[in-house]
Amino acid sequence: MFVRVLVLVLSMGATGITLLAIRQQEHLAAHELARTRLEIMRIEDERRRVRAALARELSPAQVRMLSETLGPLAPAIQALDAPAHEQEAVVAQDAT
């Protein structure tokens, strides 16, 4: 009888510890998500400030003139939905 009670107490303790660990992981994930959202908001605010500053400094005619002097432009970041082998081909082509 003593062994059964001991096994029951130990198994309940292990279950409790497991549930606490899972709960702690959920709290950590929620904290990380909130921190990431705050960082995204900060970056978006900075992007808006930079765009506003550029809009104050450059007219559309100046942008057109700058783009004509630079020649054909390519995206700085490849599309995320493009397959990896296509992205590697573009990078290899740009390197030559």
CB hemisphere CA count around 81 (13 angstroms): 0
| φ/ψ (deg, to 5) at 59 | -95, 160
pLDDT at 43: 97
Count each helix (H run) and each strand (E run) in the chain, helices first. Answer: 3, 0
pLDDT at 88: 57
Report percent pLDDT > 70 for the chain.
81
Mean pLDDT over the full length of the chain? 86
More confident residue, 21 or 88: 21
Mean per-residue pLDDT for 12-16?
Answer: 96
Mean per-residue pLDDT for 59-76?
Answer: 83
Mean per-residue pLDDT for 70-82?
Answer: 74
Using one digit for the tens of pLDDT, what is the confidence trace for 37-60?
999 999 999 999 999 998 899 888
Mean per-residue pLDDT for 18-22?
Answer: 97
Tokens representing 94 are 């740009």
- Predicted confidence band of residue 91 (pLDDT cuts 50, 70, 90): low
